[in-house]
Amino acid sequence: MAGLEEYEGRTPAWCPGCGNFGILRSFQQAVLDLGLKPHQFAIVSGIGQSGKFPHYTRCNTFNGLHGRSLPVATGVRLVSPRMPVIAVAGDGDCYGEGGNHLIHAIRRNIGVKVFVHDNQVYGLTKGQASPTSMEGMKTKVQPLGVTAEALNPLALAVALDCSFVARGYAGEGEHLTEVMKQAINHRGFALLDILQPCVTYNRINTFQWFKERVYHLDPSYDPTDRAAAFAKALEFGDRIPLGVIYRNERIPLEERLPTVIARPIAEKPFDASALRTIVKEFY
């Protein structure tokens, strides 16, 4: 029986102590638990520290451009709808550069799962504010402190009736693994925002800061109640809920398209002779 070593990729180039290590371990445990071999799923990533993620775990990989993981993942999933496709992005990647794509991936309800490594700062470019940086955070580019309101990705997602909305925390590996498994098993689009302390550039949202605030959603919490989910999504401050915030059973895009359901397009043989009669339409 193969174990975690089967997923071991290249040596990570992240800073020592980075929250990404915890996310990587949780992910490998999740795919192992789900019985997904490295060649049976694909990760599409963008650019940022999170973008390097698929190099560090063995899998099919498309490490594309900053902000564009969701459209690429959408294309992959539409032609290969039986293969789990996970998009890995950062907060700048998914909520900044790729914000428009997130909105429309949620609307489409494509069966892609996006795991956002949300460290509330730009790591790869050395510490500028991100869309989720808290108001007042000072950086070299925001010397007076961040003036914009932090984006609340979960509230945005619930407002758009996103099919699956959850939050995990890099410091709680087992819990994160479980949420990842639920996201991967979910039929439609899933947004999993993962709180991830940046030990180099974020001096506010530290492991200690999170430790004092995060809590697990009570088993009695009903993630199918959208209004309650919206209220829960707004909770980010002294208390930060972890777990599945919202879930619905919207039919995913790939299940609505007859051509996609019939047979994965990527595997369908092509015979041009069937098209010979098509010119008749032009007479």
Partner 1 sequence: MRSLDYTIKIGGEAGQGIQTIGDSLARVLARSGFHVFIHQDYESRIRGGHNFFQIRVSSKPVAASRERIDIVIALDRPSIANNEALLSEGGLILYDSSLIKEKHEGSHFLDVPLIDLATRDGGNRIMVNTVATGAALGLLKMGLEAFFQVIGELMGKKGAKTVDENRRAAARGHDFAESKCKECAFEMGPGGSPHMLIDGNSAVGLGALLSGCRFYSGYPMTPSTGVLTFMAEKSAEWGIVVEQAEDEIAAVNMAIGASFGGARSMTATAGGGFALMVEGISLAAMTETPIVVMVGQRPAPATGLPTRTEQGDLLFVLHAGHGEFPRVVLAPGSPEQALYLTNKAFDLCEKFQIPAFVLSDQYLADSQWSYEGLDLDKTVYRDYRLRDVPPDAARTYRRYAYTASGVSPLAAPGQSECLVVDDSDEHDEEGHIIEDSQTRTRMVEKRLLLKLPLIRAEIGPPLLYGERNPETVVVGWGSTLGVLKEVVDILSDRERVALLHFSEIYPFPGTEKFDYLKVLTEAKRTICVENNATSQFGRLMRAETGHTFSSTITKYDGRPYLVETLLEELKWQD
Residue 101 within binding range of partner 1, rule CB under 8 A: yes
Q: How far apart (Å, rounded) are the C-alpha atoms in residues 195 and 223?
A: 20
Tell me which amino acid residue 242 is. L
| 3-22 binders of partner 1 (CB under 8 A) | 9-10
Residue 256 within binding range of partner 1, rule CB under 8 A: no
Residue 259 within binding range of partner 1, rule CB under 8 A: yes
Q: Which stretch binds partner 1 (CB under 8 A): 20-28, 167-175, 230-238, 254-262?
A: 254-262
| 28-57 binders of partner 1 (CB under 8 A) | 37-42, 44, 47, 52, 54-55
Among the listed residues 60, 128, 142, 248, the single contact to partner 1 using CB under 8 A: 60
Among the listed residues 32, 34, 79, 240, the single contact to partner 1 using CB under 8 A: 79
The closest alpha carbon to 79, from 269, 259, 250, belongs to 259
Tokens for 60, please give them. 């099919």
Q: Which x/- pattern, by CB under 8 A, does the window 163-192 give for partner 1? A: ------------------------------
The closest alpha carbon to 35, from 73, 80, 2, belongs to 2
The radius of gyration computed from the CA coordinates of the chain, to the nearest angstrom, equals 20
Q: How far apart (Å, rounded) are the C-alpha atoms in residues 240 and 217?
A: 9
Nearer to partner 1, 7 or 210 (CB): 7
State the DSSP H helix or E strand holding residue 138, giving kind and residue range, or none if neither.
Answer: none
Dihedrals phi, psi of 52, to nearest 5 degrees = -80, -10
The closest alpha carbon to 164, from 134, 185, 146, 142, belongs to 185
Residues that bind partner 1 (CB under 8 A): 9-10, 37-42, 44, 47, 52, 54-55, 58-65, 68, 70-80, 82-83, 100-101, 103-104, 257-260, 262, 265-268, 270, 272, 275-276, 278-279, 282-283
